[in-house]
Structure 1
Amino acid sequence: MAERKKLLEIKNLKQYFNEGKLNEVKAVDTVSFDIYKGEVMGLVGESGCGKSTTGRTIIRLYDATGGEVIYDGVNVHGKKSKKQLKEFNRKMQMIFQDPYASLNPRLKIADVIAEGIDIHGLAKSKEERMEQVYELLETVGLNKEHATRYPHEFSGGQRQRIGIARALAVQPEFIIADEPISALDVSIQAQVVNLMKKLQKEKDLTYLFIAHDLSMVKYISDRIGVMYFGKMVELAPADELYRNPLHPYTQSLLSAIPAPDPISERSRRRKSYDPASHNYGGNESIEFREVTPGHFVLCSEKEFNQYKAQSNH
């Protein structure tokens, strides 16, 4: 099997707010992981765990407090000329959680989608610009007539499709999808995720898919990272994480997923997670360790040996 190409390397990434003050918040605290070209990397955790901040720091919406983000061999947070920044912004795009808040209500949909086309000079004429807009609308399951309407004339699911079309307009390689379905009805969520899966295959895209719904993340992701209080506590291939969750926090998240069967749902026992049982401020050396190939857990040496033994059975 050919070796996969690393598209993104995140090394000891830190994003602290109010750094050095009494109310300092370590939103992202020494997080490291890689994303390979053509894969979907899922990032999950409860609200406030730092997953959205991780995505926003990767794409430079926030300046990193520390660590490195290496995209295609280049340090994203290093000093860059305007031309370099422009090129980076074309390669990496973001789909936001609230499709209405991220669309300018005063612009027609054609102008919303074509914003990136205009900035990067991707159309030689007005006709070519509109052709690209029409093609993008059709790509995301809308039609030409929608180009002359305003954002408030669309449903939440349609607005999210417009957000996806806008991200695709500059022909990116990598898309960060920040909770792209959490504001949508359940019936619409599957449509949007299926659209994203289809586009990923057709356009050879790489995604960082951020969400708190573990069942939906499993459906779309190749690998999944679990975050808790600014730290990555577990990272594994999607099937492996579901079959063999090692960190107690991951186990508690998985135990909370409701079953479609009402009988088993009545008898289901949810596992609770007590952070005090993992006092990571102690003297033990807590590291992100590889228990089995590709399956990493934040743990002490003693826990690591327990997980190793558990995985060998």
Structure 2
Amino acid sequence: MAEKLLEIKNLKQYFNQGKPNEVRAVDDISFDIYKGETLGLVGESGCGKSTTGRTIIRLYEATDGQVIYDGINVHDKKSKKDLKSFNRKMQMIFQDPYASLNPRMKVLDIIAEGLDIHGLVKNPKERKERVVELLETVGLNREHADRYAHEFSGGQRQRLGIARALAVNPEFIIADEPISALDVVSIQAQVVNLLKELQEEKGLTYLFIAHDLSMVKYISDRIGVMYFGKLVELASAEDLYKNPMHPYTQSLLSAIPLPDPNYERTRVRKSYDPASHNYQDGEEIAMREVTPGHFVYCSTKELATLQAISGSQV
């Protein structure tokens, strides 16, 4: 069994807490991420997946719950020294490569910012050599160091974002919809393939947040599905696609188009109605293991039904 790198326990992120317009963006979710794996987190816009990533890395302080990284609760870290050490281990690749790069800084300084903060280089020569090395790692070249972000294409800018994240030699990277701003499928595939290559070379662990289910399946070992702040299903990528159990997951998968005219003519799009669960007052709804490694947010009655259908019992 792989070693746990990250444990999320009953994580909550509420905005405007206690007010009439309170938003429960992340509502009591728990999951683990193991060293060397990619956990995909999917769901429609507004489901809380990006907020989950930002809370894990402490861009937002958690309302409640624990984020335990390598055995230490991230949200207990208070001193600048502790936070600095944590920030070296965990980095983020942002969704928008246009907005996440400072237009007034040259690429050399954008990528070297982390090196400077953490004192990882001794002099300007070593600083530039390290930046050039990072540029080449992500498929760019030495000449790019002296350019500004606006001089690059969308795919190239996302490569710059990846290089910046790699600069401090992190163990864990949160990729927050890193391909959603790239409108050409071939460029999206190049970025995802680069992430896979880097993972193999450097032993990285990823939380890959996206709404493109086909791309998530390609890169992820396991996939979690979020709906309105709740984690509703968690399973291996293969199992989730072959045997989706939660009605919301089934709805998402039914919406994926395939390049097959015959399939598209007969494809039936499933809709999801939360009211269809018909829960009783006081009934406990929780993430439950239906088959080994396959968890679904359900009641005990739904659990029994799902296990009967699957012909398995944990």
TM-score tier, shorter chain, comes to over 0.9
Match of 2:114 in 1: 116
Check whether the contact 2:77–2:83 (CA below 8 A) recurs between aligned residues: no
After superposition, the CA RMSD in angstroms is 1.0
Residue 125 of structure 2 corresponds to: 127
Report what 2:206 is aligned to: 207
* 1:103 partner amino acid: L
For residue 179 of structure 1, what is the aligned residue in structure 2? 177
Contact 2:40 2:222 in 1 (8 A): yes
Q: Which residue of 2 aligns with 1:16?
A: 14
Indicate yes or no: 2:258 matched with 1:259.
Answer: yes
Task: Give the 5 Å matches for 1:112-261.
Answer: 112-185=110-183, 186-261=185-260
SS at match of 1:77: helix
Q: State the percentage of identical aligned residues.
A: 79
Which whole-Å CA distance do the structure 2 matches of 1:25 and 1:281 have between them?
Answer: 24
Give me the whole-angstrom Cα distance separating, in 1, the residues matched to 2:211 and 2:225.
10
My pick for the range that moved more, 281-290 or 5-14, is 281-290
Partner of 2:276: 277
Instruction: Look up the equivalent residue of 1:37 and give its one-letter code.
Output: K
Separation (CA, whole Å) in 1 of partners of 2:145 and 2:17: 45
SS at match of 1:302: helix
Equivalent residues of 2:7, 2:69 under 8 A apart: yes
CA offset digits 1:219-278 (Å, max 9, x no partner): 000000000000000000000000100000000000000011012111111111111113
Partner of 1:37: 35
Name the CA distance, whole Å, in 1 between partners of 2:155 and 2:279. Answer: 41
Question: Which whole-Å deviations, capped at 9, do the CAs of 1:163-197 have from their partners, x for residues lacking one?
Answer: 00000000000000000000002221000000000
Gaps of 5+ in 1: none
Which segment drifts farther, 236-245 or 272-281?
A: 272-281
What residue in structure 2 maps to residue 290 of structure 1?
289
Q: 2-side partners of 1:80 and 1:16: how far apart? A: 21
Distance 1:77 1:189 in 2: 33
**1:228 corresponds to which letter in structure 2?**
Y
Which letter does structure 2 place at the counterpart of 1:291? V
Structure 1 runs, 4 residues or longer, greater than 2 Å off = 278-283
User: CA, structure 1 residues 177+279, in 2 after alignment: closer, same or farther (shift >3 Å)?
Assistant: farther
After TM superposition, give the deviation of residue 281 of structure 1 in Å: 8.1
Q: Which one-letter code corresponds to 2:299 in the other structure? A: S
The AA in structure 2 aligned to 1:302 is K
Paired residue secondary structure (2:264): helix
Q: Distance in 2 between matches of 1:285 and 1:157?
A: 46
Q: CA deviation at 1:282?
A: 3.8
2-side partners of 1:231 and 1:291: how far apart? 17
Map of 1:300 onto structure 2: 299
| Distance in structure 1 (CA, Å) of the matches to 2:231 and 2:19 | 24
* Residues 280 and 128 of structure 1: CA distance in aligned 2, closer, same or farther (over 3 Å): farther
> Partners in 2 of 1:95 and 1:280 — Cα distance?
39
Closer/same/farther in 2, CA of residues 267 and 295 from structure 1, 3 Å limit: same
Cα distance in 2 for residues equivalent to 1:283 and 1:86: 44
CA offset digits 1:137-170 (Å, max 9, x no partner)? 0000000000000000000000000000000000
Structure 1 pair 172/279, CA: closer, same or farther in 2 (3 Å)? farther
Query: How far apart in 1 are the matches of 2:77 and 2:227?
Result: 31
Name which of 98, 101, 105 aligns with 1:100.
98
For each residue in 1:187-221, what CA deviation from the matched residue of structure 2 results, as whole angstroms up to 9, or x when unmatched?
21000000000000000000000000100000000
What code does the residue aligned with 1:61 have? L
Q: CA deviation at 1:51?
A: 0.2
Secondary structure, in 3 states, of the residue corresponding to 1:19?
coil
Partners of 1:235 and 1:295 lie apart in 2 by 6
**How far apart, CA to CA, are the structure 1 residues paired with 2:281 and 2:63?**
24
How many residue pairs are counted as aligned between the two chains?
Answer: 311
What TM-score do the two structures reach when normalised by structure 2? 0.98
Could you tell me how far 1:19 is from its partner in structure 2?
0.1
Deviations 1:103-157 (A, max 9, x none): 0000000100000000001111111111100000000000000000000000000
In the alignment, structure 1 residue 54 sits paired with structure 2 residue 52: yes
Task: Quote the Cα distance in structure 2 between the aligned partners of 1:36 and 1:236.
Answer: 14
Q: Deviations over 1:1-22 (max 9, x none)?
A: xx21100000000000000000
| SS class of match (1:61) | coil
Deviation at 1:29, TM superposition (A): 0.2
AA aligned opposite 2:284 = S
